[in-house]
Structure 1
Amino acid sequence: MTETVADHVLARLREWGVEQVFGYPGDGINGLVTAFGAAKNEPRFVQVRHEEMAALAAVGFAKFGSRPGVCMATSGPGAIHLLNGLYDAKLDHVPVVAIVGQTARSAMGGSYQQEVDLQSLFKDVASEYLVEVNVPEQLPNALDRAMRTAIAQHAPTVVIIPADVQESPYLPPKHEFKHVPSSPPDHPRASVVPPSDELARAAEVLNAGRKVAMLIGQGARNAVTEVREVAELTGAGVAKALLGKDVLSDELPYVTGSIGLLGTRPSYELMRDCDTLLIVGSNMPYAQFLPEFGQARAVQIDIDPRFIGLRYPTEVNLLGDAKSTLQRLIPLLERQDDRKWRERIESDMKRWWETVERQALLEAEPVNPMRVVHELSLRVPEDAIVTSDSGSAANWYARNLRMRGQMRGSLSGTLATMGAAVPYAIGAKYACPGRPAIALTGDGAMQMNGLAELLTISRYHELWEDPRCVICVFHNNDLNQVTWELRAMGGGPKFEESQVLPEVSYADFAAGIGLHGITVTHPDQLGPAWEVALDASVPTVIDVHCDPEVPPIPPHATFEQLKSITEAVLKGDPNAWHLVKQGIKTKAQELLR
């Protein structure tokens, strides 16, 4: 049989090592769907319930694996649905390749069904590389460049293939004018390091510091050993941006945990009191959580020059990958013998974890959401992958989950889209099928799209080497994060018409589609529920009925924020006095430090 363009697309994906494509069918990709059948489903077409979930699953795959995620959608509405997940990839710097169908060339410009200007639709989200394949000879170059650019730029790329082109016979590019050949798929690597004089300047700044703070992000993930050595030499405390939460273990006594609105008090105080700052692989946008401008001398290491010196007035900027740059910087650093700063950090962290535990064990009606993650932390396998949704679940993930061993974790960091935790977990199970995956999600995100994606888990879980995939739902019938934002930022009481969610049993839904479901209505049930779920032979949903009035109060909450919450109560917030009681109890635990 004649090889079609669609056949060649799948053959080239196989050469790139792609083993699965997350997608949803439609007539705009009928040629590609036919090719999957002819190729005996290699790579595997993983049918999710919605194209947005295909893109988010591809993001999850890429975040937790070592290769780009690949997703696929039909023309028109299918392509439009990909956008949110692709923006998640763009904003969190994740390599994802989207292959999208388009109206046949003969119908373009004729207001044909599902005809959308895809070049305009994707030109921002796929600004690093966007191409429409209009003749067979454009392949394989178009697909290869999409893959290489996604890898090199840590970004989403898009390849648009009209329906009739997919079904056309494949013709390779010729060695002639206006044809562009392509080399075989490969994964070239290089170490990027700054010049020696810049390294010397950076060492001078760090050696002069007496109260050194480090901020690390996901860009430091390949440099764990080097980060630890720098921290040991300088006596630094190390705060972690949310996307870098899994870079260093929280068992290290000088690691102060997350920074920012969802961060810890020790991270806040580390930045407040330091005289020197080293930023490694982080582009955390919230400059108000960094030292006051002019307070600290600062050095930044990043592989992307666009993000150097962007958040803080850094004195020395080192352009290079974190591991190679730190390896060359370390021999220039002097050991800081005065350890008073380090001892204070370690003491603060010891007390902080005691505070967090006391907060998690406070009584609530019916279950304290902090205790959900506290009990997980006591039992989580050291090779687990944990995903979190946006919303109040992200608070408890950020503050209460203690990373250790080889654990990985992530969430939609910059876009902060709802509904990412479950498709991220699906992507993680394909990236690392031998590791357990745990998704922490609110009931709002679960109702938005998580329930539907349980069907995807039910369909494919038997393919996974390790069957453990736990979806934990914070069931409080409230769009909780926005409710608290309304109170804290605007001083407005909870508006029930917009905030209250309809009641549904997530455990019963799971059981109804062949998964395991556990309902938790009392805190004493939490520990056993996690133990059962983490030992189950099928994916499990833990449906935890939580108290919506446990406040996600930042450890450095301002007077104005507390004043706004008080005003909201006085204006008639539902359950006002229970809200006040939980807030006072929670905040009081910090005073016991």
Structure 2
Amino acid sequence: MAKTVSEFIIDRVREWGVSRVFGYPGDGIGAFDGVLGELDVKGEGLEYIRPTHEEIAAFMATAHAKFTGEVGVCVATSSPGAFHLINGLYDAQMDNVPVVAIVGQQGLDALGTFTQQESNLERVFADVACYVTTIVSPEQAQAVVDTAFRTAQARLQPAVIVLPHDVQAMDAAEPGAAHWVSRSSSAPASTRIVPAPEALEAAASVINAGSKVTLLVGAGARGATDQVLELARRTGAGIVTALRGKDVVPSDVPFHTQQLGLLGTMPSLTQMKECDTLVLLGTNYPYGEFLPATGQCRAVQVDLKPEQLGVRYPTEANLWGDVGATLDALLPLIAQKSDLGWQRDVAEAFQGWEREMRAEAMVSFPDGVNPRRVFFELNERLPENAIVTADAGTTADWYAHHVRLRRGMRGDLSGRLASMLAAMPYALAAKFAYPDRPVICTIGDGAFQMLGMNELITLKKYQERWPNKQFIIAVMHNDDLAQVSWEQRTQDADPVWRGSQDVESIDYAGYAELLGFRGVRLRHDDEAADAWEQAFRHDGVTLIDAYVTRNAPPLPPKISKEYRNNTLKALAGRDPLRVGAVVDSAEAIGAEALQRAKNVLHLGGDDAGQRE
């Protein structure tokens, strides 16, 4: 039996299948960290990964959960360290992944007495966590740890264990058959939930009646790729993926038209406009303006989160269940369609869109590298089993528009929270989880300056552990918070305010070289292919410093009247970058229009793949 509460907790965490934790030390969690260190020396504990900041640790735990399907675990000290975890834990909450945070606290006698670094952590974490409890006695530790892990797994949410400093060092105790004492289990609850037969039959009736079926697939369908493709085969459906579901459906499926919305494709939007049946699979896609009009189509939703059923579109059948298990039960009820014309049209339209994306990537701008070209050339060279992370902002636009993930590849980002700087800790967590696979982090310079640059130090510390040391960071170096700049124009009709938007220019490649990594400076479009080839030839860390234009417009598939009018108003006023923004926008739209004309000639008629 474990000697102390800390030893017991570490043993119990291992029983829950955890082998790695991401943490940052401090006196509030000192006794627990001390035991972690002792067991690590003996090879009997948990692998402890220490990045440069607690926020990074929380994002790494979230990313670990996303990439592996396991519970991610992060550890931090009391008040300040615990507070730093919150952003990463909200990422877990909003993207529905299980994470357990273990945070220190001052001794029991200090609670409520306003001593240094003593705060009400249960209240602090009450909104972000599905379960948060302070362990106040050795007998209670078992039930709290088990409940935190079981609840995080079952509800796909973060949970928090608060561990006072004195309790950490107390003698462990086996819970007995006593009043108020819980003897708990470390067995997880099964989440392979299947809806009732009558609910499945109701959903099948809706789907079978449709002639233009579209599947909107999210990250909640991960692990059910084959079932999703079989449903599409039987129904003649087109497939649209939410951004976090990008890697759920292989990119070489011809009727997979990639994403929807501002960073989506026109064929995906066309599907939403014209489908008569919509099936939402493991997605909480939040942008209702891109979904079908009310009354246009019948809809079915499958999701393991019951509170998210029927909240985005007026669905007729809501199936509470795991997507894979539910489709296994649903598929025998689905009739085989003989007319696959809708699916063929979707595939043909997407071919036209891909030609348009290539044309936009080949545009040369006068004021810097085309960021689309950087991502296009990456996509052309993605090795098998690659893992790609993207940051929030225009990086996510280029990732969505140009990166195509084949079966076996993975990609992810901070989804509903859309937090800046997540790409770097995500990439690091992916490398720890899959040390034999190449990892590519794509990130903007603003996000990289937040905390991303610090994590090159973490890379330096741990790179020798990995059999495949290939880790590539591509920094979109435009000295601008570009997404916000464009949002100011397109959403609010405001000119760019350089006092808030400018990012101080830094030699990112030089910083990487200072740490012993390879730096590649990409200053011209025709250097993009070679930059990636250099990186993929190098068995080590490479930073590509891509000097891209700050004015490349992240064009949506359909330019709305509001988008157009707001942009024109902003650029007609005192926008200090208006000349460059107008020139680069004209170049991009011109290339798009020319390719659209070619597509129409190629297809002998209207091409539904083209931007409106």
Q: TM-score, normalization: structure 1? A: 0.97
The offset of 1:189, in angstroms, is 3.4
The offset of 1:304, in angstroms, is 2.0
C-alpha distance in 1, partners of 2:56/2:190?
A: 31
CA displacement 1:470-517 (0-9 Å, x = unmatched): 111000000000000001011111111100011101111111112222
Q: Of residues 361, 384, 387 in structure 2, which corresponds to 1:385? A: 387
SS at match of 2:472: strand
C-alpha distance in 2, partners of 1:223/1:34?
A: 42
1:456 matches 2:458: yes
Pairing of 1:62-81 with structure 2 (within 5 A): 62-81=65-84
Letter in structure 2 aligned against 1:340 = G
The offset of 1:205, in angstroms, is 1.5
Q: Of residues 415, 431, 446 in structure 1, which corresponds to 2:448? A: 446
C-alpha distance in 1, partners of 2:341/2:316?
A: 25
CA contact (8 A) 1:139 1:172 kept: no
C-alpha distance in 2, partners of 1:337/1:559?
A: 40
C-alpha distance in 2, partners of 1:144/1:464?
A: 32
Letter in structure 1 aligned against 2:372 = M
CA displacement 1:351-388 (0-9 Å, x = unmatched): 00010011011002321001111111011112111111
CA contact (8 A) 1:256 1:349 kept: yes
The offset of 1:102, in angstroms, is 0.3
1:346 matches 2:372: no
Aligned to 1:178: 180
CA contact (8 A) 1:214 1:280 kept: yes
C-alpha distance in 2, partners of 1:431/1:151?
A: 19
Aligned to 1:135: 137
Aligned to 1:298: 299
Letter in structure 2 aligned against 1:261 = L
SS at match of 2:223: helix
Aligned to 1:327: 328
Q: Of residues 142, 159, 163 in structure 2, which corresponds to 1:157? A: 159
Aligned to 1:276: 277
Q: 1:499 to 1:190 in 2, by over 3 A?
A: closer
Cα RMSD (Å): 1.4
C-alpha distance in 2, partners of 1:540/1:152?
A: 39
Pairing of 1:48-67 with structure 2 (within 5 A): 48-67=51-70
CA displacement 1:371-411 (0-9 Å, x = unmatched): 11111101111211111110110101111111112111111
Aligned to 2:544: 542
Q: 1:53 to 1:190 in 2, by over 3 A?
A: closer
Aligned to 1:434: 436
C-alpha distance in 2, partners of 1:454/1:570?
A: 41
Aligned to 2:470: 468
1:89 matches 2:88: no
Q: 1:40 to 1:335 in 2, by over 3 A?
A: closer
C-alpha distance in 1, partners of 2:315/2:489?
A: 36
The offset of 1:190, in angstroms, is 5.2
C-alpha distance in 2, partners of 1:197/1:34?
A: 55
CA displacement 1:262-281 (0-9 Å, x = unmatched): 11111111101111111111
C-alpha distance in 2, partners of 1:131/1:282?
A: 30
Letter in structure 1 aligned against 2:523 = T
Aligned to 1:30: 30
CA displacement 1:74-117 (0-9 Å, x = unmatched): 00100110100000000000111100000111222221111111
SS at match of 1:101: strand
C-alpha distance in 2, partners of 1:64/1:287?
A: 28
The offset of 1:39, in angstroms, is 0.7
C-alpha distance in 2, partners of 1:286/1:25?
A: 40
C-alpha distance in 2, partners of 1:431/1:2?
A: 28
C-alpha distance in 1, partners of 2:152/2:516?
A: 37
C-alpha distance in 1, partners of 2:295/2:584?
A: 38
Aligned to 1:250: 251
C-alpha distance in 1, partners of 2:100/2:370?
A: 40
C-alpha distance in 2, partners of 1:2/1:479?
A: 51
Letter in structure 2 aligned against 1:46 = I
SS at match of 1:346: helix
Aligned to 2:600: none
The offset of 1:163, in angstroms, is 0.6
C-alpha distance in 2, partners of 1:561/1:61?
A: 37
The offset of 1:519, in angstroms, is 1.2
CA contact (8 A) 1:64 1:432 kept: no
Aligned to 1:15: 15
Aligned to 1:266: 267
Letter in structure 2 aligned against 1:395 = D
CA contact (8 A) 2:20 2:46 kept: yes
Letter in structure 2 aligned against 1:18 = V
CA contact (8 A) 2:251 2:407 kept: no
C-alpha distance in 2, partners of 1:323/1:523?
A: 43
C-alpha distance in 2, partners of 1:521/1:585?
A: 19
CA contact (8 A) 2:247 2:411 kept: yes
The offset of 1:62, in angstroms, is 0.8
C-alpha distance in 2, partners of 1:174/1:197?
A: 45
C-alpha distance in 2, partners of 1:198/1:106?
A: 54
CA contact (8 A) 2:57 2:74 kept: yes
CA contact (8 A) 2:194 2:325 kept: yes
Letter in structure 1 aligned against 2:251 = D
The offset of 1:535, in angstroms, is 2.7
CA contact (8 A) 1:62 1:431 kept: no
Letter in structure 2 aligned against 1:352 = W
CA contact (8 A) 2:154 2:190 kept: no
CA contact (8 A) 1:102 1:163 kept: yes
C-alpha distance in 2, partners of 1:246/1:191?
A: 21
The offset of 1:2, in angstroms, is 7.9
The offset of 1:553, in angstroms, is 1.4
Aligned to 2:607: none
Letter in structure 2 aligned against 1:225 = D
Q: 1:108 to 1:435 in 2, by over 3 A?
A: same
Letter in structure 1 aligned against 2:89 = L
| The 10-residue stretch of structure 1 (116-125 or 40-49) with the greater mean CA deviation from structure 2 | 40-49
SS at match of 2:453: helix
The offset of 1:3, in angstroms, is 1.6
SS at match of 2:349: helix
C-alpha distance in 1, partners of 2:72/2:145?
A: 13
C-alpha distance in 2, partners of 1:65/1:330?
A: 27
Aligned to 2:489: 487
Aligned to 2:150: 148
C-alpha distance in 2, partners of 1:297/1:143?
A: 44
The offset of 1:186, in angstroms, is 3.7
Aligned to 1:114: 117
C-alpha distance in 2, partners of 1:444/1:325?
A: 42
SS at match of 1:256: coil
CA displacement 1:47-73 (0-9 Å, x = unmatched): 111111100010111110131111011
C-alpha distance in 1, partners of 2:515/2:137?
A: 44
CA contact (8 A) 1:241 1:284 kept: yes
The offset of 1:188, in angstroms, is 5.0
| The 10-residue stretch of structure 1 (458-467 or 14-23) with the greater mean CA deviation from structure 2 | 14-23
SS at match of 1:423: helix
State, as a whole percentage, how many aligned pairs show the same letter: 43
CA displacement 1:518-555 (0-9 Å, x = unmatched): 11111222112212222322222111000111100111
| The 10-residue stretch of structure 1 (373-382 or 567-576) with the greater mean CA deviation from structure 2 | 567-576
Q: Of residues 404, 409, 419 in structure 2, which corresponds to 1:402? A: 404
SS at match of 1:140: helix
CA displacement 1:189-243 (0-9 Å, x = unmatched): 3532222222222222212211111101011112111111111111111000111
C-alpha distance in 2, partners of 1:309/1:408?
A: 29
SS at match of 2:82: helix
Runs of 4+ off more than 6 Å: none
C-alpha distance in 2, partners of 1:60/1:535?
A: 26
SS at match of 2:162: strand
